[in-house]
């Protein structure tokens, strides 16, 4: 059956991303390799996701003469990982965008209700003028992503993009129904959720696999 399509969802089909996602799904992948792969995929995704960032002209001197170049316009980009698993995506993107600021949103999913429980929120000031990249490897029911975007908006953020590695149609639907103007980028749109809210085929518990807590 063909995967559903959604407005404002981009599935990043670059061969290197797909290759690395397959390694990530494999249950034999060690914590060390899992961490490395999450960073590499996040970096490749960031390359795609930033391709429409506005530029502004800038004058510079080469060793030979003055010339006009271009720089990314506006305030520093801000990466906002959703704790814990989103932390795994920060380093890879920061290697591409070393000047990026980093905020943090602490959320975990209650095991019984699957509802997000929030415990931390800190982002850099100047919220109105910043581009926020919200990071979480997994978009399952969508509860965590929706809550994180709501919290960012409440703090004044106006330009938010959501990057995840693996997502389920149910979560994408919920996210785009609640926050239709927030572009969602995913490396894989999977089949469904199981009765415990895990993505199928998925990759298991991203936080546990990333930090070796199981």
Known catalytic residues are: 109, 113, 205, 208
Q: How far is the CB of 115 from ligand PRP (least distance, A)?
A: 8
* Segment interacting with ligand URA (CB under 6 A) among 33-41, 76-84, 90-98, 197-205: 197-205
Q: How far is the CB of 205 from ligand URA (least distance, A)?
A: 4
Best CA proximity match to 16, nearest among 50, 36, 45:
45
Q: Is 67 helix (H, G, I), strand (E, B) or coil?
A: strand
Rounded CA separation 161/135 (Å):
9
How many residues interact with ligand URA (rule CB under 6 A)? 9
- DSSP state for residue 202 in the 8-state scheme: S
Q: Which of 109, 153, 161, 173 binds ligand PRP (CB under 6 A)?
A: 109
CB 54, CB 74: distance < 8 Å: yes
Restricted to residues 72-91, the positions that interact with ligand URA (CB under 6 A) are none
Chain centre distance of CA 49: 10
Instruction: Please report, as ranges, the residues that interact with ligand PRP according to CB under 6 A.
Output: 82-85, 107-109, 114, 116, 136-145, 171, 197, 205-207
């Amino acid at each position: 059956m063909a995967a559903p399509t959604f407005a404002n969802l981009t599935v990043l089909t670059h061969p290197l991303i797909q290759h690395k996602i397959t390694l990530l799904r494999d249950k034999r992948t060690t914590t060390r390799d899992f961490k490395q792969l999450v960073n590499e995929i996040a970096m490749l995704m960031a390359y795609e996701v930033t391709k429409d960032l506005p530029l502004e002209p800038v004058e510079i001197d080469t060793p030979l003469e003055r010339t006009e170049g271009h720089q990314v316009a506006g305030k520093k980009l801000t990466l906002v990982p959703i704790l814990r698993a989103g932390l795994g995506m920060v380093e890879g993107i920061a290697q591409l965008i070393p000047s990026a600021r980093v905020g943090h949103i602490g959320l975990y999913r209650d095991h019984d209700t699957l509802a997000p429980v929030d415990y931390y929120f800190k982002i850099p000031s100047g919220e109105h003028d910043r581009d926020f990249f919200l990071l979480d490897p997994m978009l399952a029911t969508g509860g965590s992503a929706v809550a994180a975007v709501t919290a960012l908006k409440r703090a004044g953020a106006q330009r938010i993009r959501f990057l995840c590695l693996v997502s389920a149609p149910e979560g994408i639907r919920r996210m785009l129904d609640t926050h239709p103007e927030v572009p969602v980028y995913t490396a894989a749109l999977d089949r469904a959720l199981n009765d415990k809210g895990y993505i199928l085929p998925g990759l298991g518990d991203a936080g546990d696999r990333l930090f070796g807590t199981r």
